[in-house]
C-alpha cells in the first residue's frame, strides 16, 4: 500500500467529489463546486492538502488564512468564508482556519485524518501563524439533544462518555474548545446548526513585525503642493521629505495624490498634450522603483498616487501600492474623465481587486472612480476595510463631487475612505494649471464613529499632511451590532452587483 500526502490541485477535482460523496452520504449538496476548488488552489495552494492511497484520492483538508481579529470568536461559517467566496483569505493574516476535512469511509482505519492535521500544524508553524482555528460540527448531537444541552453534550464527549466522530477526533488532536457557536452552519441538521469553536496554538509563533495588533491603523495623507521641479532628483527629494515625515509618526500608510508627478510635464510643454503625457510615462518605472525603495527603507506602505503608463500603445492612469515588505501592486483607473479622454486619449483599466496588506485588505479607486458606487461595493464584497482615493481636481465643485461620493461610500460599505489631492497652481504646465483639495478620512455613521462621519480633514488648499488612526474593530462591531446593518440588509434576493470580468 502506497500512502502519499501532497498539495491538492484542480486536476484532482473529480476524485475529490467522489470521495466527498462517500464521506457525506446523508448531507445534501455535499461537494464543493469546481470554482471553489479553483479559487482555493489559486489563492492559497499550500493550504489545500490531500492524501492518496495507491494513487486514489481518499482524504483532504482545505484551509484559508484570516486576520482573526476581524471576525472574532462569534462568527458563522458563511462569514468566515465570505459566503464561500474565500475573499476573507489574507496572506498577511495570523490564523490558519480549517474549512474542510474529510476521509473516505473505507480508509478511516488508516488514521489519515491525523496525518492531515499534522500537515496543517506543520504548515501553521512554517508560516508563523498564531494558531489553527476550526468550527467543529457535532454530528451526533441530534441523537442526544432531547436530554442534553450542547454544553452538556460536549462535556460528555470530553469525558468519553459519548462518541462524536468529529469532536472526539479534534480533541484527540490537542484542539481546545473555546466556545459553542449557535447557527454556525446553516442546514446542518445533524448538529442542529451548533458547532464547537476549537483552537490549536502554535507555541513557536512570534509576533510579526508591523502586522495588525489591536486593529488600529495609522493613515498618513499627503496634501501635495504642485510646484516646479528642475529635475527628477528634486522631485524625489520632495517625495522623500513627506515619506520621512509620515514614517516618523509610525504611520502604516503614506498616500500621495493622483498625477502628483505632473510638474515634470513642464519640460514637454512644447508637445501635444498626449505626446507630453507619453514622455512623462517613460519615467514611471524609474519613479516607482525609487518610491518602492522609500517604502522599504522608511517602513511604510506607500500609495504612490497615480502616474501615466503606456502599454500596447494605450495610455493608462495607474496607481501603485508599494508595500513595506517590498511587494508591489497596481490599479488602473477604470472611469476616464472627459478631459483625460479629450486631451490625453487615455483608456480605462479593466481589473478591480482588493489588496492584501499587513494591515488587512484595502482598495484603491482613482478620483472619478469613486463617483461610481458599484466599484466600492464590489471591493467591500471582497473584504475591503480601507478605501484610498487619490484625486486631482481643479475646482471646488469638482472636489465636492469626489468628497461627497467618498463619504457616501464609507457609510454604505461599512469601511473607512481616505481621500487626498493636490493644491496650489502650476502655470507652466498645460491643463494642470490650478488645483483644489482638502484631504479627509471618512467613516461610517453610527455611535462608535464621529457624529459627522468625518474622522479628520486637512486645511483646504494648503500643503500639509493629515495623520489619522482608524480602528478596524469598530467596523466589525458595526457589521454585527450597528443601528443599521447595510451590508447585511441588502435585498440580494431582489438585486445584485456582479463583476463581469
Q: Going by C-beta distance under 8 Å and a sequence separation of 6 or more, which residues neighbour residue 389? A: 364, 365, 366, 367, 369, 370, 402, 406, 417, 418, 419, 420
State the catalytic residue, choosing from 333, 347, 385, 455. Answer: 333
What are the cell numbers at 199? 483552537
Q: Going by C-beta distance under 8 Å and a sequence separation of 6 or more, which residues neighbour residue 487? A: 380, 413, 414, 479
State the catalytic residue, choosing from 258, 340, 414, 457. Answer: 258
124 given a catalytic annotation = no
State the catalytic residue, choosing from 50, 124, 359, 367. Answer: 367
| Torsional sign, CA 181, 182, 186, 191 | positive
List the Cα angle 207/81/364 in 5-degree steps: 70
Pairing mode, strands 440-442 and 434-435: unpaired
367 given a catalytic annotation = yes
* Closest to 38 measured CA to CA, from 18, 8, 66, 69: 8
* Closest to 110 measured CA to CA, from 265, 262, 5, 261: 5
Is-contact 253 220, C-beta < 8 A?
A: yes
> What Cα–Cα distance (Å) separates residue 286 from each residue in 254, 265, 274, 303?
19, 16, 20, 16
What are the cell numbers at 90? 489574507
Ramachandran area for residue 40 (φ above 0: left; ψ -120 to 50: alpha; else beta):
alpha
333 given a catalytic annotation = yes
d(CA 226, CA 461): 11
**Residues with active-site annotation:** 258, 333, 367
Amino acid at each position: 500500500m502506497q500512502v502519499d500526502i501532497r498539495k491538492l490541485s484542480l486536476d484532482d477535482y473529480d476524485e475529490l467529489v467522489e470521495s466527498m460523496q462517500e464521506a457525506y452520504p446523508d448531507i445534501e449538496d455535499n461537494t464543493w463546486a469546481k470554482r471553489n476548488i479553483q479559487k482555493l488552489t489559486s489563492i492559497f495552494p499550500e493550504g489545500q492538502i490531500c492524501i492518496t492511497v495507491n494513487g486514489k484520492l481518499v482524504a483532504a483538508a482545505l484551509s484559508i488564512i484570516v486576520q482573526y481579529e476581524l471576525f472574532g470568536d462569534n462568527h458563522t461559517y458563511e462569514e468566515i468564508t465570505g459566503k464561500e467566496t474565500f475573499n476573507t483569505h489574507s496572506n498577511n493574516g495570523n490564523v490558519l482556519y480549517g474549512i474542510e476535512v474529510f476521509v473516505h469511509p473505507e480508509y478511516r482505519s488508516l488514521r489519515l485524518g491525523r496525518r492531515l492535521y499534522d500537515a496543517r500544524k506543520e504548515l501553521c508553524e512554517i508560516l508563523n501563524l498564531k494558531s489553527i482555528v476550526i468550527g467543529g460540527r457535532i454530528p451526533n448531537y441530534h441523537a442526544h439533544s432531547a436530554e442534553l444541552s450542547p454544553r452538556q453534550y460536549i462535556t460528555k464527549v470530553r469525558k468519553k462518555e459519548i462518541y462524536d466522530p468529529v469532536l472526539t477526533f479534534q480533541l484527540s488532536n490537542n484542539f481546545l474548545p473555546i466556545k459553542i457557536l449557535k447557527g454556525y452552519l446553516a442546514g446542518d441538521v445533524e448538529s442542529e446548526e451548533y458547532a464547537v469553536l476549537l483552537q490549536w496554538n502554535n507555541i513557536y509563533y512570534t509576533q510579526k513585525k508591523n502586522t495588525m495588533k489591536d486593529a488600529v491603523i495609522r493613515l498618513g495623507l499627503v496634501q501635495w503642493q504642485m510646484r516646479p521641479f528642475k529635475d527628477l532628483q528634486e522631485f524625489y527629494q520632495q517625495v522623500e521629505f513627506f515619506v520621512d515625515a509620515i514614517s516618523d509618526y509610525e504611520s502604516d500608510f503614506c498616500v500621495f495624490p493622483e498625477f502628483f508627478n505632473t510638474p515634470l510635464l513642464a519640460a514637454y510643454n512644447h508637445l501635444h498634450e498626449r505626446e507630453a503625457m507619453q514622455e512623462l510615462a517613460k519615467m514611471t518605472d524609474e519613479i516607482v522603483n525609487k518610491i518602492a525603495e522609500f517604502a522599504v527603507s522608511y517602513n511604510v506602505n506607500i500609495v504612490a498616487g497615480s502616474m501615466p503608463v503606456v502599454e500596447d500603445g494605450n495610455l493608462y492612469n495607474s496607481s501603485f501600492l508599494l508595500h513595506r515588505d517590498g511587494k508591489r501592486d497596481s490599479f488602473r483607473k477604470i472611469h476616464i474623465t472627459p478631459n483625460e479622454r479629450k486631451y490625453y486619449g487615455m483608456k480605462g483599466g479593466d481589473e478591480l481587486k482588493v489588496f492584501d496588506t499587513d494591515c488587512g485588505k484595502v482598495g484603491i479607486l482613482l478620483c472619478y472612480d469613486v463617483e461610481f458606487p458599484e466599484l466600492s461595493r464590489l471591493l467591500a464584497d471582497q473584504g475591503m476595510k480601507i478605501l484610498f482615493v487619490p484625486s486631482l481636481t481643479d475646482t471646488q465643485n469638482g472636489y465636492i463631487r469626489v468628497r461627497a461620493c467618498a463619504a457616501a461610500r464609507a457609510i454604505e460599505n461599512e469601511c473607512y475612505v481616505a481621500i487626498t489631492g493636490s493644491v496650489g497652481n502650476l502655470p507652466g504646465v498645460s491643463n494642470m494649471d490650478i488645483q483644489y483639495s482638502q484631504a479627509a478620512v471618512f467613516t461610517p455613521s453610527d455611535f462608535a464613529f464621529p457624529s459627522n462621519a468625518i474622522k479628520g480633514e486637512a486645511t483646504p488648499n494648503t500643503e500639509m499632511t493629515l495623520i489619522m488612526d482608524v480602528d478596524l474593530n469598530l467596523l466589525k462591531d458595526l457589521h454585527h451590532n450597528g443601528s443599521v446593518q447595510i451590508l447585511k440588509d441588502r435585498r440580494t434576493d431582489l438585486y445584485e452587483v456582479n463583476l463581469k470580468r
